[in-house]
Structure 1
Amino acid sequence: MFIAGEWTTAESGETFDAESPATGETIGAVQQGGREDARRAIGAANRAAGDWARASAFERAAAMHRVADQVERRHEGLVHTLTLDQGKPLAESRDEVEELVQYWRGAAEDAKRLEGRLPNSTSSGKRVLLLRRPRGVIGVITPWNWPYTMPAELIAPALACGNAVVWTPASTTAVAGIALAECVAEADLPPGVFNLVTGPGSVVGDEIARNPGTHGIGFIGSTETGRRVAAAAAGKAAVLELGGNGPVVVLDDADLDLAAEATVAACFLCAGQSCTAGERLLVHRDVREEFVAKLARLVVERVLLGDPFAETTTMGPLNNEGVAAKMDEHVADALERGAQAVHGGERAAGFPTDLYWQPTILDGVPADALVATEETFGPVAPVVAIDSLEHAIELANASPYGLLSAIFTRDLAKGLRYADAVRTGWVNVNESSNYWETHLPFGGRAGTASGIGRVGGSAPMEAFTELQTVVMA
Structure 2
Amino acid sequence: MYIDGQWQSSSSIDRIQSISPSSGKVIATVSRGNTADIDRAVGAARRASKAWASASPFYRAEVMIKASQLIADERDTLARALTDDQGKPLVKEAYDEVDELVLYFSMAAEDAKRQSGTMPHSVDPTRRVLQYRVPLGVVGVISPWNWPYTMGAEVFAPALAAGNSVIWIPAPSTAACSALLVEVFVEAGFPEGVFNFVTGLGAEVGDALCAHPGVDGIGFVGSVATGEKIAYRAAGKKQILELGGNGPFVVLEDADLEKAARAVMDASFLCAGQSCTAGELFLVHKGVKEEFLEMVVSMTKESINLGDPFSPETTMGPLNNEACADKFDEHVGDAVAKGARLVQGGKREGGLPTTLYAQATILDSVSPDMLIASSETFGPVVPILEISSDQEAISLVNRFGFGLTSAVFTTDLARGLAYAESVEAGWVNVNASTNLWESHLPFGGRSGTLSGRGRVGGTSVLEAFSEPKVVILQL
Confirm or deny a common fold (TM above 0.5).
yes
Alpha-carbon distance between aligned partners in 1 of 2:317 and 2:378, rounded to the nearest angstrom: 14
Matched residue, 1:66 = 66
Counterpart position of 1:15: 15
Q: Deviations over 1:166-220 (max 9, x none)?
A: 0100000001110111111110110000000000011111111110111000000
Residue number in structure 1 paired with 2:433: 432
Corresponding residue number in structure 2 for 1:216? 217
Q: Which residue matches 1:318?
A: 319
1:328-376 per-position Cα deviation (integer Å, ceiling 9, x unaligned): 0000011111111111011111111110000000011112210000000
1:263-342 equivalences in 2 (<5 Å): 263-342=264-343
Match of 1:206 in 2: 207
Q: Residues 288-307 of structure 1, C-alpha deviation per residue, up to 9 Å, x if partnerless?
A: 00001000001000111001
Confirm whether residue 47 of structure 1 aligns to residue 47 of structure 2: yes
Amino acid at match of 1:116: G
Matches of 1:445 and 1:254, distance apart in 2? 26
Q: Distance in 1 between matches of 2:76 and 2:462?
A: 30
Separation of aligned partners in 2, 1:432 and 1:255: 13
Query: TM-score, structure 1 length as denominator?
Result: 0.99
Match of 1:129 in 2: 130
Structure 2 contact 48–193 (Cα < 8 Å) conserved? yes
CA distance in 2, matches of 1:402, 1:366: 20
For residue 245 of structure 1, what is the amino acid of its counterpart? N
Alpha-carbon displacement from aligned partner over 1:4-48 (angstroms, at most 9, x marks no partner): 011010001221211000000000111111110011001000000
SS at match of 2:188: coil
In structure 2, distance between residues paired with 1:195 and 1:308: 31
Instruction: Please tell me whether the aligned partners of residues 16 and 31 of structure 2 are also in contact (alpha carbons under 8 angstroms).
Output: yes
1:118 aligns with 2:128: no
| Contact 2:4/2:196, CA 8 A, preserved across alignment | yes
- Which string of whole-angstrom CA distances, capped at 9 and with x for unpartnered residues, describes residues 300-319 of structure 1? 00111001111100000000
Once the two structures are superposed, residues 136-191 of structure 1 have per-residue CA deviations (whole angstroms, 9 ceiling, x without a partner) of 00000000000001011001000001000001000000011101111111101100
C-alpha separation between the residues in 1 aligned to 2:27 and 2:452?
34
Identity of aligned residues (%): 54
- Residue 420 of structure 1 corresponds to 421
Shift of 1:400: 1.1
Q: RMSD value over aligned CA atoms?
A: 0.7
Which letter does structure 1 place at the counterpart of 2:62? Answer: A
1:39-438 mapped onto 2 (5 Å cutoff): 39-90=39-90, 91-438=92-439
When structure 1 is superposed on structure 2, of 69-78 and 192-201 the one drifting more is 69-78
Aligned residue identity for 2:12: S
**1:351 and 1:70 mapped to 2: Cα distance?**
35
Q: TM-score under structure 2 normalisation?
A: 0.99
- Aligned partners of 1:460 and 1:139: how far apart in 2? 13
Q: Distance in 1 between matches of 2:460 and 2:389?
A: 35
Quote the Cα distance in structure 2 between the aligned partners of 1:186 and 1:384. 51
Tell me the CA shift for residue 124 of structure 1.
1.4
**Contact 2:398-2:424 within 8 A present in 1 as well:** yes
Given residue 158 of structure 2, which amino acid in structure 1 is its aligned partner? P
The SS at the match of 1:129 is strand
Unaligned segments of structure 2, at least 5 residues? none
1:175 aligned counterpart, secondary structure: helix
**Cα distance in 1 for residues equivalent to 2:367 and 2:255:** 22
* CA displacement 1:394-438 (0-9 Å, x = unmatched): 001001110000000000001110111100000000000000001
Q: Which moved more, 1:262-271 or 1:110-119?
A: 110-119
Which residue pairs with 1:469 in the alignment?
470
Q: Which amino acid aligns with 1:18?
A: S
In the alignment of these two chains, the number of paired residues is 473
**Cα distance in structure 1, aligned partners of 2:23 and 2:156:** 30
- Code of the residue aligned with 1:64 in structure 2: it is M
Please list the CA deviations of residues 42-89 of structure 1 after superposition, one character each: whole Å capped at 9, or x if unmatched. Answer: 100000000000111110011101111111111111011000000000
SS at match of 2:10: coil
C-alpha distance in 2 between matches for 1:157 and 1:28? 29
Secondary structure of residue in 1 paired with 2:190: coil
* Corresponding residue for residue 34 of structure 1: 34
Amino acid at match of 2:207: D
What is the alpha-carbon distance in structure 2 between the residues aligned to residue 253 and residue 214 of structure 1? Answer: 52
The one-letter code sitting in structure 2 at the alignment partner of 1:7 is W
In the TM superposition, residue 116 of structure 1 has moved relative to its aligned partner by: 2.0
Output the CA distance in 1 between the equivalents of 2:115 and 2:33. Answer: 35
1:5 equivalent in structure 2 = 5
Give the letter for the 1:155 counterpart. F
Secondary structure at the counterpart of residue 186 of structure 1:
helix
Q: Distance in 1 between matches of 2:198 and 2:416?
A: 45
1:471 match: secondary structure: strand
Aligned-partner residue type, residue 465 of structure 2: F
**Counterpart-to-counterpart distance in 2, 1:463 and 1:218:** 10
Name the amino acid aligned to 2:14: E
**Paired letter, 1:46:** R
Q: Residue type of the partner of 1:49?
A: S
Greater than 4 Å deviation, 4+ residue runs? none
Contact residue 361 and residue 382 of structure 2 kept, 8 A: yes
* Separation in 1, partners of 2:470, 2:383: 52
Alignment gaps of 5+ in structure 1:
none
Please give the alpha-carbon distance, in whole angstroms, between the structure 1 residues aligned to 2:247 and 2:429: 11
Q: Distance in 2 between matches of 1:222 and 1:39?
A: 25
* CA distance in structure 1 between the partners assigned to 2:321 and 2:121 by the alignment: 56
Give the whole-Å Cα distance in 1 for the aligned partners of 2:118 and 2:330. 53
CA distance in 2, matches of 1:205, 1:381: 33
Q: What is the CA-CA distance between 1:130 and the residue it aligns to? A: 1.2
Contact 2:16 2:172 in 1 (8 A): no
